[in-house]
Amino acid sequence: MSGSRLTKGYGLERLRTAVANADLRAPGVSGWSVGMHVHHCCLATVGICRFLAASEPPPPRSRFSMLRSFVLLSGRIPRGRGKAPDRSVPRDDVSRAELMGFIDECERMLAVAKQLDRCTWFEHFAFGIRDRNKAVRFIDIHNRHHLRIIGDIVRKGVNTVANTETRGGGGE
């Protein structure tokens, strides 16, 4: 996998842009604020990269999963179908500066992942064993999933700091 594919993209620049709206919420869209979605993406990205770095090739055998096949082929995660593992549940009190630092860490960890043996692996609680290439593809799919939710929150959200409606009004 080329270095540019691993270090560019994965929604990191869009996550940086989203940090400006960190306080927005839209309860009809999500129970999390924009900042919490950004934080979750960072926790997941860094966690997957660390798991890859700590893994010992070759990956264990993985059983067929219709859900995994759908997600990897379509590039989309169905909404409302999964629950974040405890280790990737975001905090509600993360500052914008901390979020930017977490995104920087994601870039560094993805650069490290690029250097790892292709046979390093990650085990997802719902999608099973993924080799390095499939794991970083999952990071891309996962972050785009949350960026779509962030977009919906921004369109319908309420600023929780100023408690003022933005753009499309309150949540549905």
Question: Is 23 within the bounds of a domain?
Answer: yes
Question: Is 59 within the bounds of a domain?
Answer: yes
Question: Is 45 within the bounds of a domain?
Answer: yes
Domain range for 31: 3-79+93-161
Question: Is 151 within the bounds of a domain?
Answer: yes
Domains held by the chain: number: 1
User: What is the Cα–Cα distance from 131 to 121, expressed in whole angstroms?
Assistant: 4
pLDDT digits (tens, 9 = 90+) for 117-172: 999 999 887 777 889 998 999 999 999 999 999 999 999 977 766 544 443 333 32
Domain harbouring 149, CATH code? 1.20.120.450
Question: Is 142 within the bounds of a domain?
Answer: yes
What percent of the chain clears pLDDT 70, i.e. is strictly above it? 85
Question: Is 167 within the bounds of a domain?
Answer: no
Question: Is 35 within the bounds of a domain?
Answer: yes
User: What is the Cα–Cα distance from 7 to 4, expressed in whole angstroms?
Assistant: 5
